[in-house]
Chain A
């Protein structure tokens, strides 16, 4: 998983707004950020950097093999 977990979220939505690829959304019940579309995460860390409480953890791996020009 690229974006892995969110813990200690205060629901400020900074990460949701800052994610260029719309991976995160606000959970309507808990009012916290949730990882809704992890397959579209480009591992850019903007969400993590914008989070005021450092709630987001991201790992460098992608869950599916990625297509590159040679390998």
Chain B
């Protein structure tokens, strides 16, 4: 019984955050480019969708926590967290990887152009998101050294994650090479559900707390 639920839950997660984006990618009317560029694109897209899955593999997902052992959930959460944050951290570099293989604009020139063009909302949001992501990583890593009590830390992590997700999603929808309507709808949907989960937990918690005082 327990294992079955576990499998169903996981399948749902895999379906929503791996299969759906891949489907959207391959059925979308996108111009196919070189294998290298395609691979980089898919990696980045999955990096982002799996990052979104973080909402659902954290402690917040009480359903899942109850059904399978907490340790497992956290393991998935952490693995996805570190691995795909790495992907997202590297994605600005992915964009210029093709420049290593042609004779045109040099990779360094392309990169400088990329991080010094502040004219679009997308880029600014991207930079904000990137900084928040770094913050999330650093605080997660040094969590115990910061001497915060667990509740405070969790709240800090949760809220900055929320900010990050909003900035990042907006950035993706605005800038993404593959952000068509379907993709955008999918992202927004996932974020809304995720935020709903997050707020539900936090607000109910805080609410209870405030009621007492």
Contact = CB atoms under 8 A, between A and B. Distances in A.
Touch test A–B (CB under 8 Å): yes
Interface of A: 4-5, 7-12, 14, 30-32, 49-55, 57
Nearest to B113: A52
Interface of B: 30-31, 33, 37, 95-96, 98-99, 102, 104-105, 109-111, 113-114, 117, 119-123, 175-179
Contact of A10 (B33, B109, B175, B179): B175
Contact of B113 (A5, A8, A12, A32): A12
Contact of A11 (B95, B102, B109, B123): B123
Nearest to B175: A8
Interface of A is mostly: loop
Contacts of B104: 49-50
11 contacts: A4-B31, A7-B177, A10-B113, A10-B114, A10-B117, A31-B120, A31-B121, A51-B105, A53-B95, A54-B33, A57-B31
Contact of B119 (A31, A52, A53, A54): A31
A14 B96 CA distance: 15
A53 B105 CA distance: 10
B120 to A, nearest CB: 4
Contacts of A32: 120
B69 to A, nearest CB: 41
Contact of A52 (B31, B96, B175): B96
Contacts of B111: 52
